[in-house]
Structure 1
Amino acid sequence: MRPFLFLGTRAEDLAADGEYDAVLRFSGLAERDLRRVRLERDELPPLDLDDWSGIVLGGGPYNVSDPDDLKSPAQRRAEARLADLAEQVVDADFPFLGACYGIGTLGRLRGGAVDRTFAEPIGAVTVTLTDAGRTDPLTADLPGSFDVFLGHKEAVSALPGGAVLLATAPSCPVQAFRIGTRVYATQFHPELDVDALCTRIEVYRHHGYFEPAAAEAVKAAARTATVTEPTRLLARFVELFARR
């Protein structure tokens, strides 16, 4: 099988390794079949998409809506490379699944807008599939409504031209969308279970997602949630797009 490519942007090893391990576990891929590049420290060379089955982009503390003068050189470099890659995968209709930061990467294409209008605190939210989501090959096997883990400072406020909305929620209307037939983004984290979320709460205690003193309360609330469905998206993405 041609490998999948995983792109991460997390500088903190505990969160970065945990994210990659979770994608491995829930996708069913072995490390040899899910190659990783950490864009916060490493350059991503030009890609021949024919060498790959698909691309998965993880989340992280980068926000495309941050003022440019507050972005680190690593963030500006990663953002520019991902912007080029987004155009490449959309033009080729190449299998791509961007979780959380994928919203920022794809959401500004074709007249779309990403801003702070629909930020959501860390925790569980119920999302609902649209009519398109109920028939899309990636999401059709999910229930009509299900709970997800998320937490983000920015979100899509206007979909890219031609994008198809797949999932929504009252607190943030764009929870998942598709461009073309094989390029996807989710606002929520399909790789997260409650233990991984609690690890991230600790890692990002001082990153402005919540008051640092509230970390234990945010963890306790997360532990009361029942989030079982989103991780199925990773295995389904592999099932749909793995190539020999």
Structure 2
Amino acid sequence: MRPFLLLASRDHDVVADDEYRAFCEYGGLAPRELHRLRAEAGPIPEVRLEEYSGVILGGSPFTASDPEEQKTEVQRRVEAEIGLLLDGIVAADFPFFGACYGVGLLGRHEGAAVDRRFGEAIGAVKVRLTPAGLVDPLCEGLEPVFEAYVGHKEAVRTLPSSAALLAASSTCPVQMFRFRRNLYATQFHPELDLRGIEHRVEAYRHSGYFPPEEAEAVKDRARGAQVHEPQRILRNFVERYGR
């Protein structure tokens, strides 16, 4: 099997390493089977898609819908470089899976409206598969309604007609979508478990996701959730495209 590629852009080492751990664990991948590029650390080197089974884009503290003048130089570079890579991925309909930040970047690339209207606080929400989601191969084995961890300032407000809406929630109308046959993104984090969410609460407690003094309450709410289903999506992605 050719390895998968993880595009990461988290500058917090503990969170970045835990994210990589989770994608390996829940995707059923050994470290040698998931190459990681940390885009925030420097320019993305040339990526030859034919060397990979698929590309995964992890979450990020960046917000794609921020006004350009508010973005840092690093964020502008990262988004420009990932945008160029997406040009080739989309043109080839190359297997792609974006988690959270991937919704904003793939969505904008394909003409979705992305803004802050449907941001969700850190915690668990009930996600419901649509009729299209119920029959999509990446959702095979999932319950029709399941809990998933979220935590995002932006979201897709409307999808273009070329997209298939696969999942939604009462607080966010687009939780998962597909373009073409092989380009996927989820607003929720299918890789995120309790260990990971506790790391992220500590790392981003001053980043505007919640009042800093509420960090322990946010962790407590996360501990009360039953989040087991979303990880199947990662395993399905790996099994479908890694064969």
TM over 0.5: yes
Distance of aligned partners of 1:6 and 1:141 in 2 relative to their CA distance in 1, 3 Å threshold? same
Counterpart in the other structure of 2:189: 189
Secondary structure, in 3 states, of the residue corresponding to 2:80? helix
1:122 aligns with 2:132: no
More deviation in 96-105 or 107-116? 107-116
Shift, 1:200, TM fit: 0.6
CA contact (8 A) 1:22 1:192 kept: yes
Instruction: Please show how residues 8-157 of structure 1 align to structure 2 within 5 Å.
Output: 8-157=8-157
Counterpart Cα distance in 1 of 2:60 and 2:213 = 21
- The one-letter amino acid of 2:61's match is P
2-structure distance, mates of 1:11, 1:45: 18
Report the Cα offset of residue 47 of structure 1.
2.3
Contact 1:116 1:153 in 2 (8 A): yes
**1:194 to partner: Cα distance:** 1.1
Structure 1 gaps of 5+ residues are: none
- Indicate the SS of the match to 1:84: helix
Query: Which residues of structure 2 form unaligned runs of 5+?
Result: none
The Cα RMSD (Å) is: 1.0
Separation in structure 1 between the aligned mates of residue 130 and residue 109 of structure 2, nearest angstrom: 21
Q: Quote how far apart the aligned CAs of 1:160 are.
A: 3.4
Deviation at 1:50, TM superposition (A): 1.1
In structure 1, the partner of 2:169 is 169
Tell me the amino acid that sits aligned with residue 28 of structure 1: G
* Structure 1 position 113, deviation (Å): 1.0
Distance across 2 between alignment mates of 1:161 and 1:92: 20
The CA deviation string for residues 92-150 of structure 1, in whole angstroms up to 9 with x for no partner, is: 11110000000011111332111001000000000000000000010132110000001
Aligned residues: 243
- Deviation, 1:161, is 4.0
Amino acid in the other structure paired with 2:183? V
Secondary structure in 2 matching 1:174: coil
Other-structure match for 1:2:
2
Return the letter of the residue paired with 1:99: A
Counterparts of 1:79 and 1:63, CA distance in 2: 10
Q: Pick closer, same or farther for the CA change 1:171–1:3 going to 2, 3 Å.
A: same
Measured in 2, the distance between the counterparts of 1:11 and 1:180 equals 32
Following superposition, the deviation at residue 87 of structure 1 comes to 2.2
Q: Aligned partner of 1:201: which letter?
A: V
* Counterpart Cα distance in 1 of 2:171 and 2:147: 13
Q: Deviations over 1:161-183 (max 9, x none)?
A: 40100000110000000001111
SS at match of 1:172: coil
Q: Is the 8 A contact 2:140 2:236 kept in 1?
A: no
- Percent identity reads 53
**SS, match of residue 89 in structure 2:** helix
> What residue number does 2:241 align with?
241
Query: Is 1:108–1:160's contact at 8 Å kept on the other side of the alignment?
Result: no
Q: Is the 8 A contact 1:109 1:160 kept in 2?
A: no
Secondary structure, in 3 states, of the residue corresponding to 2:40? coil
